[in-house]
Structure 1
Amino acid sequence: MQILRDRHLKENDDPLHLLNGRVHEAEGRGRAGFALFQAVRLPGPIIWIILAHDSDRPMPGALPRGVAERLHLIEARSETDLLWAVEESLRARPVGLVIATPEKPISLTAGRRLQLAAEAGGTIGLLLIREGGGSNAAETRWKCEPLSGPADSTRHRWILNKNKKGTIGFHDVSWDGATAAFHLVPPAGERCQPEEPPR
């Protein structure tokens, strides 16, 4: 069950949903966790594209349940090869999610090419970028950081700081790292309580 902080959100709204047929970006120390969270929630094959020399890569034994079986890891020799692999993967209709970790900032031209590829394939792209390395063509950009919390939970702060089709803001999320279940945690000092009945 989700705990919704914002009273304007309806129970069936999902503020962490990534729009289909678009490319999104995540930056910050928790960006890989955000990518895994999306991978757990989305059906279909997952393509994760990294540079061959990048030692920070997903390890199948440490992935959430059901992700390793759907994951296809691609190693690119250069940044140009990585962007080409992302573009081609986004065009592949059976793919559910394409994740990539570019090292260099994404140019506006490259960003637009990726958006066109995502639209053609109806696929969700998620670029795990370095700070300040995003493209103006991105649909959304998230800043992802881990938060301290109770010993039995893992908390994250996912800040939506760019959104072409909606509002921006932050979400403190308690996610166990294994399933699609999560809770939106109210900020410290705030409690989610039902509204007073009308008088």
Structure 2
Amino acid sequence: MKTHFEPTHGDPLTLVPARVHEAQGRGRRAFALFQAARISGVIVWIMPTHIPELPFLGALPSGINERLHLFRTKGETDLLWSVEEALRSPAVSLVIAEPQQSLSLTAGRRLQLAAETGQTRGIMLIRDDAGSNAAESRWLCEAAPSSAADSTLHRWSLIKNKKGTLGAWVLDWNGTSSAFTVVSEARERHQPAQASG
């Protein structure tokens, strides 16, 4: 059994626990997988049945396959109910969901209360500008241009944060583990973050 890197409070990419966060942009699934690789415990991913693009289980970061439970729902009401129930469970560490409609303030507050009850983190993978004002944080996730053939760069911008400042980070993360490298805007590499395991 592999151990997973547990983010520290000083890490700007750490999601506040027992809260629901949002990610938008073309790289929102990569952001969710990055967070899943960094958090130990059960992961629940909830998506509508009509979305054809499922996470490819063979390409997930190390250690996620054994912990991932994928659920498909028939409609938005079922999806939000399932997310709420999963967030309430203390046995779940992370809930990832892909709503297809804008989240109302009421729905957002219900999800926050459920996350507090279960002490569970949630990530809602939303369409652009479809989030709830109740979200703890909102991230804009896109690919970053790279001239290196062996580099997978991501630009993740914190565009809403109830507990702190906003910011943007360029990461070199290959999607296979919780290890990553923060890259400066000039594309100079810094020391990689270490993953235990």
Taking structure 1 as the reference length, the TM-score comes to: 0.88
Correspondences of 1:92-131 after superposition (within 5 Å)? 92-131=89-128
1:74 is aligned to 2:92: no
Cα deviation code 1:14-45 (max 9, x no counterpart): 11000110000000000000000001110001
Correspondences of 1:39-188 after superposition (within 5 Å)? 39-149=36-146, 150-188=148-186
Structure 1 stretches of at least 4 aligned residues deviating more than 4 Å after TM superposition: 189-192
User: For the residues of structure 2 that align with 1:62 and 1:191, how far apart are their CA atoms?
Assistant: 25
Residues 57 and 186 of structure 1, relative CA distance in 2, 3 Å threshold: same
Residues 174 and 189 of structure 1, relative CA distance in 2, 3 Å threshold: closer
Shift of 1:152: 1.3
Taking only aligned residues, the RMSD between alpha carbons, in angstroms, comes to: 1.5
User: For the residues of structure 1 that align with 2:134 and 2:30, how far apart are their CA atoms?
Assistant: 23
Taking structure 2 as the reference length, the TM-score comes to: 0.89
Larger radius of gyration: 1
User: For the residues of structure 2 that align with 1:189 and 1:41, how far apart are their CA atoms?
Assistant: 24
Residues 191 and 83 of structure 1, relative CA distance in 2, 3 Å threshold: closer
- 1:126 counterpart SS class: strand
Identity of aligned residues (%): 58
Cα deviation code 1:166-185 (max 9, x no counterpart): 00010111111111111111
User: For the residues of structure 1 that align with 2:76 and 2:109, how far apart are their CA atoms?
Assistant: 16
Aligned length: 182
> Bigger CA drift: 38-47 or 61-70?
61-70
Extract unaligned runs of 5+ from structure 2: 1-7, 191-197
- 1:153 counterpart SS class: coil
User: For the residues of structure 2 that align with 1:180 and 1:93, how far apart are their CA atoms?
Assistant: 23
Extract unaligned runs of 5+ from structure 1: 1-10, 193-199
Cα deviation code 1:73-94 (max 9, x no counterpart): 0111100000000000000101
Residues 191 and 97 of structure 1, relative CA distance in 2, 3 Å threshold: closer
- 2:72 counterpart SS class: strand
Q: Please name the residue that 2:4 is paired with.
A: none
Residues 188 and 60 of structure 1, relative CA distance in 2, 3 Å threshold: same
* Equivalent residue letter for 1:155: L
Cα deviation code 1:39-75 (max 9, x no counterpart): 1110001000000111122121121111111100011
Shift of 1:148: 2.1
* Equivalent residue letter for 1:15: P
Q: Please name the residue that 1:8 is paired with.
A: none
